[in-house]
Amino acid sequence: MTNVDIKRICIHECCHAVVARLFRQRMAMEELVVNTRLVKAGEDLGALNIRGPRLDDEQDYAALAITLLAGVIGENIYLLGTDAIKEKKEEIVVDNNIIDWTSGGGDVPAFQNVAFMFSLVYLTDGNKLKEFCLRFLIDFLSDKEVWSMVELLCYEGLRKKNLKLNEKELECVFKKISLDALLDNKRKEYLNQCNEVLQFCQRSEPA
């Protein structure tokens, strides 16, 4: 395993973290970790441990679903570049094979569980929730300012010998890189989209 491989995994977890911070009124982060021992053994293993959301409303479901898929989209942006992913957004939404999903690990089945429950509770189309999340994430993470925060957070994570940032350390890093200030400027724009998740995910009427 090379440092580039470790950075890729760190980028994955940092994308989860930056997106989760956007939804900080609904969830909190306990730890960001890349398991260096397993990475060196050839396994992709990292984690962002969170508390919440409570899944009390449709925005909770949307926030969790978006956060779960953030790592996959972030890794593809890291490998292909923000412009390439943004230009291919419509292709990615309709074709499941455009981007590499192999790095998703447990995130993908976790998302599928959330999408299934969302569709049962709100009588919506779970596949449309995936489309909603992909559109949201491509727009959000390909924003150059947001992506710069992902890179800065990754840099801070890689500086740690054990590649772990606990809750207190994450708060210190967020303050250091001024993440909340940037997200506050973008929060209304993006959270307004989540208010429309039910309308977006309505089931199509039979022909």
pLDDT band at residue 35, thresholds of 50, 70 and 90?
A: low
Rounded to an integer, the average pLDDT of 130-144 is 96
The per-residue pLDDT for 41 is: 47
Domains and CATH numbers, the chain: 3-198 (1.20.58)
pLDDT band at residue 207, thresholds of 50, 70 and 90?
A: very low
The per-residue pLDDT for 6 is: 85
CA distances from 164 to 30, 32, 122, 145 (A): 11, 6, 37, 24
- Give the pairing type, strands 28-34 and 46-51: antiparallel
Query: Is 161 exposed, middle or buried, given 0-12, 13-18 or 19+ CB atoms closer than 10 A?
Result: exposed
Best CA proximity match to 151, nearest among 7, 5, 3, 31: 7
60 and 191 in contact (C-beta within 8 Å)? Answer: no
Share of the chain residues as helix, strand and coil, in percent rounded to the nearest 5: 70, 10, 25
Rounded to an integer, the average pLDDT of 61-70 is 98
Cα separation, 94 vs 23, whole angstroms? 26
Rounded to an integer, the average pLDDT of 4-23 is 91
Helix (H) or strand (E) holding 28: strand 28-34
Cα separation, 169 vs 148, whole angstroms? 19
Query: For residue 180, is pLDDT > 80?
Result: yes
Query: For residue 169, is pLDDT > 60?
Result: yes
Structure tokens at 195: 């208010």
Residue 104 is given by DSSP the state: G
Query: What 3-state DSSP class applies to 57?
Result: coil
Structure tokens at 47: 């984690």
pTM (two decimals): 0.92
